[in-house]
Chain A
Amino acid sequence: MRPVQHHPGFTITELLATLILLVLFFAAAGELFKSTILLSSGSQEFSNRASQLDSAVFQLRRDVWNSSRIAASPQSVDLSWPDGTTTAWKIDGGSLTRTDARGQTESRPAVGNDWSFSTDGVSLTISDGTAAPIRLASQILLSERGHP
């Protein structure tokens, strides 16, 4: 009769503990991987959006800076320049549109969705309901206010 061979092995408790640890590890690794991917894409999207926003505000500020009259409604603003031409900004259909004196239109999608315009006569205020409003001043109108 052959002697019984003893193969080294694991108890069911050891296997269960190992399985639980593996499940926990893969769950943590999966979450970490998901966070990495989401953060990466979210960061890129945020950066693009900030860039588009800065570009729109930069252009709008230049327009307001040299304007001799500001006419604003919550969704649009007309800026008259000293040479008699007018540049119009409008929030329409989820995009911000600029139309210059020659009729050329430049649209910025996904910018200005939550904006609203107002004016006190010398500056244009942009409110988005969350952050502090952005105030863009006109040098010409400021000067006129100094010389009543």
Chain B
Amino acid sequence: MISRRRRDSGFAMITAIFLMSFTVMTLTVLMATIAAQSRRSQILSQDAQLRQLLTAGAAFADAKLQSNSSGRFSVPLPETLRQSSADLTVEIQPPSNETATAEIEATLPHHHLSQRLSFSRQASSWQITDATLD
């Protein structure tokens, strides 16, 4: 009688372990997928923010060049971006008569993006002639 009860307990235990293993495997795969997609969404969101900053930096560099300014500038950002430790710097090389270049770098914590802009003078204003995303 005792030995039969032990066999029953063993069977129940094995079946329970099988079911729990399947459940754990499913949950693990599910959690890994959710975590990966969450990371991907966060990275894409930060990328979009950085590209917006680069576009703002291009407009800033353009405005500075129109007023014949050069050098390294830190572009003032809205409060919400400053709170998330965002930074945007524009470095304009001293322009020649016809061409100028600007390096723009946008930074968020653990993530940054930069671009190099080439300008040429057309009539009385500077125009972007090349934009390379790094």
Which A residues have a C-beta under 8 Å from some C-beta of B? 25, 28-29, 32-33, 35-36, 39-40, 43, 46-47, 50, 54, 61-62, 65-66, 82, 137-140, 142-144, 146-147
Contacts and interface: CB of A to CB of B under 8 A. Distances in A.
Contact of A139 (B30, B32, B44, B131): B131
B33 A46 contact: yes
A142 B15 contact: no
17 contacts: A29-B15, A29-B22, A36-B22, A36-B25, A36-B29, A39-B26, A39-B30, A43-B32, A46-B33, A65-B131, A82-B129, A140-B129, A140-B131, A143-B58, A143-B59, A143-B128, A144-B128
Interface of B: 15, 18-19, 22-23, 25-26, 29-30, 32-33, 36-37, 40, 44, 51, 54-55, 58-59, 62, 115, 117, 125, 127-133
Contacts, number: 72
Contacts of A46: 33
Q: Is the interface of A mostly helix, strand, loop or mixed?
A: helix
